[in-house]
Structure 1
């Protein structure tokens, strides 16, 4: 430091050429340090060289089949000896015999049978259809009412006989009468059924309705109207009634 400062000025009584030499020496040292530093910096930031991969060589192998061996030549067959053909002797031709001439008579033509002349069909009037028997006379209103009343009594008896007392009614020690209304076809088929008047006891109503629904009814009698009809039966159940 003292030397650099001293080299900037020429001391009194010193040599001026010596001062210039010192400055050149310092500048050269600084330039050399910068050059070395630059080389080191470039070397640290330069990526390493890629390793050299040896190039793969493809070797083509061709399979060559050996030539088949030559077949052994077959010796030629001896030529057959051809015998000369014998000369055929001429055969004498037979003398033709004259054939008699036969004259064929023409075949007679078949006689065609004459088709009979169609005659006009004879109209036969259809036999008269016998008149349908007259329908039976309708029963009188009184006869119909008697037939309906008899049929309704039959229904009440069959429904009452088919009713079973539920176990709930036996345990409650009670009884009651339910009215069931239902509708029948002339063939005796049940169309609908309902509780028209309750007994006040649910098990009794259900048992009476079930008895009406499960019963098989006979068809209407001949004196009854031939249309659907409504009926009503009273079903009485009691805990003391025997099954």
Structure 2
């Protein structure tokens, strides 16, 4: 708020003494009034701080526990009635044993011992030590696979030639001018014994197949050679028969 104060001025430009003091007082009062009004305005513009939160109160109720029930007193012990002592008869007093009279033994003179010549103890017969037999020689090393295969091939060729030479051409094959090759499979033991034989591949002519199988079953075969396997082996033999065969 602005306040206008008119101060009379003397003709020489200086206020009078009474008027000057009054004017200053008016100015100071106006300034103070303006400051008070501005302070009230500033205070009213500031937000009042929120009130402090009220402390929460927690109510705790103390409950006194119930007193424990008194335990019942145990019953008084029953009086122990001791049995009356039974009078025992007096023990007999042991008496010392009576001495037993011993017979008087008279010593007998020793009998003379006859002198017997000691016979010499028999001596055990001297047994010569048993002859020590030398250990058997170690087995020969096994042949290599190449040697075994070569030995089996040579033996199979020998058996094939033997079967082919023993095969007989049936008369029906000669008359009908037939020919064919039958394959016979058979198994031989290392000693050369025949285990079994069967037709592996037919020639297309039953007479030729039967003659080839009969030639294998009727043959006698040599034992295996050194480099051949030591177990039964299966062989396949081709038997060719025709009307021009001998």
TM-score by length of 2: 0.50
Superposition pairs of residues 39-54 of structure 1, within 5 angstroms: none
SS at 1:193's partner residue?
A: strand
Q: Which runs of 5+ in 2 are unaligned?
A: 1-115
Compare CA radii of gyration and give the structure with the larger one. 2
State how far apart, in whole Å, the 2-side matches of 1:192 and 1:199 are.
Answer: 20
Q: Report whether the alignment pairs 1:173 with 2:177.
A: yes
State how far apart, in whole Å, the 2-side matches of 1:162 and 1:113 are.
Answer: 92
Note the C-alpha offset of 1:158.
Answer: 0.6
Q: Report whether the alignment pairs 1:118 with 2:122.
A: yes
Q: Report whether the alignment pairs 1:133 with 2:129.
A: no
Per-residue Cα deviation, 1:93-128 (whole angstroms, up to 9, x for no partner): xxxxxxxxxxxxxxxxxxx99854123566765443
Q: Which runs of 5+ in 1 are unaligned?
A: 1-111
Note the C-alpha offset of 1:155.
Answer: 0.7
Superposition pairs of residues 23-38 of structure 1, within 5 angstroms: none
Change (3 A) 1:117 1:193: same
Change (3 A) 1:125 1:169: same
Indicate the residue corresponding to 2:225 in structure 1.
Answer: 221
Per-residue Cα deviation, 1:150-183 (whole angstroms, up to 9, x for no partner): 0000011110111111001112111100000001
State how far apart, in whole Å, the 2-side matches of 1:123 and 1:177 are.
Answer: 73
State how far apart, in whole Å, the 1-side matches of 2:117 and 2:188 are.
Answer: 76
SS at 1:206's partner residue?
A: helix
Indicate the residue corresponding to 1:204 in structure 2.
Answer: 208
State how far apart, in whole Å, the 2-side matches of 1:139 and 1:113 are.
Answer: 76
SS at 1:142's partner residue?
A: helix
State how far apart, in whole Å, the 2-side matches of 1:206 and 1:135 are.
Answer: 43
Note the C-alpha offset of 1:200.
Answer: 0.7
Indicate the residue corresponding to 1:158 in structure 2.
Answer: 162
Q: Report whether the alignment pairs 1:183 with 2:187.
A: yes
Superposition pairs of residues 90-109 of structure 1, within 5 angstroms: none
186-195 vs 129-138, which moves further: 129-138
SS at 1:230's partner residue?
A: strand
Note the C-alpha offset of 1:148.
Answer: 0.2
Q: Report whether the alignment pairs 1:148 with 2:152.
A: yes
SS at 1:194's partner residue?
A: strand
TM-score by length of 1: 0.50
Q: State the superposition RMSD in angstroms.
A: 2.2
Note the C-alpha offset of 1:236.
Answer: 0.5
Indicate the residue corresponding to 1:194 in structure 2.
Answer: 198
Indicate the residue corresponding to 2:34 in structure 1.
Answer: none
Change (3 A) 1:113 1:135: farther
Note the C-alpha offset of 1:192.
Answer: 0.6
State how far apart, in whole Å, the 2-side matches of 1:186 and 1:214 are.
Answer: 18
